[in-house]
């Protein structure tokens, strides 16, 4: 089976995918990311229940991620505007890191992978922004799609 880039037309130009003939189906996507901290910074944050001078680091990142999911088509040029039916962002501590998971659902003609990936990315950037006064040695990694359902192909990492 030969695969081709879907956002490039026959002349090599950027093009939005035509979804007009696709069926509306239930679609979902889950993405994840991690924000790693130096040990002493993570210990300090955990000791404060992840509360900073700007408020709850985790809850602020959740809200930022939700807002980002809703704005994905404005941020990623060839994404379609879609009506979302569910956004859920979970952030919890693991060893010297915060693990972020974003689940997005819709009933549409196109999927929500980019929305889920955008949600975890902006959540992670918000965490960085809120914690950078403690250290710039914070890194964001492992941003990835975990699963998607609906459409032509399902995916499960």
Lookup: tokens for 74: 């404005």
- Rounded Cα gap, residues 29 and 42, in angstroms: 29
Is 49 among the catalytic positions?
Answer: no
Question: Hunting for tokens 């995916």 — which residue is that?
Answer: 155
- Measure the CA angle with vertex 29, ends 26 and 33; round to 5°: 170
Name the active-site residue from 18, 129, 137, 154.
129
Q: How many CA atoms lie within 13 Å of 96's alpha carbon, on the beta-carbon side? A: 9
- Catalytic positions, written as ranges: 129
């Amino acid at each position: 089976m030969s695969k081709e880039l879907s956002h490039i037309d026959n002349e090599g130009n950027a093009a939005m995918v035509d979804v007009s003939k696709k069926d509306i189906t239930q679609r979902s996507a889950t993405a994840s990311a991690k924000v790693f901290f130096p040990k002493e910074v993570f210990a300090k944050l955990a000791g404060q229940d992840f509360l900073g001078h700007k408020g709850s680091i985790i809850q602020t990142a959740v809200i930022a991620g939700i807002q980002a999911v809703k704005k994905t088509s404005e941020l990623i040029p060839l994404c379609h505007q879609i009506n979302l039916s569910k956004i859920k962002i979970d952030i919890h501590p693991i060893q010297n890191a915060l693990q972020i998971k974003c689940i997005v659902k819709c009933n549409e003609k196109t999927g929500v992978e980019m929305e889920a990936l955008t949600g975890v990315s902006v959540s992670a950037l918000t965490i960085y922004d809120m914690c950078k006064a403690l250290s710039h040695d914070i890194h964001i990694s492992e941003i990835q799609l975990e699963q998607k359902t609906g459409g032509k192909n399902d995916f499960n990492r």
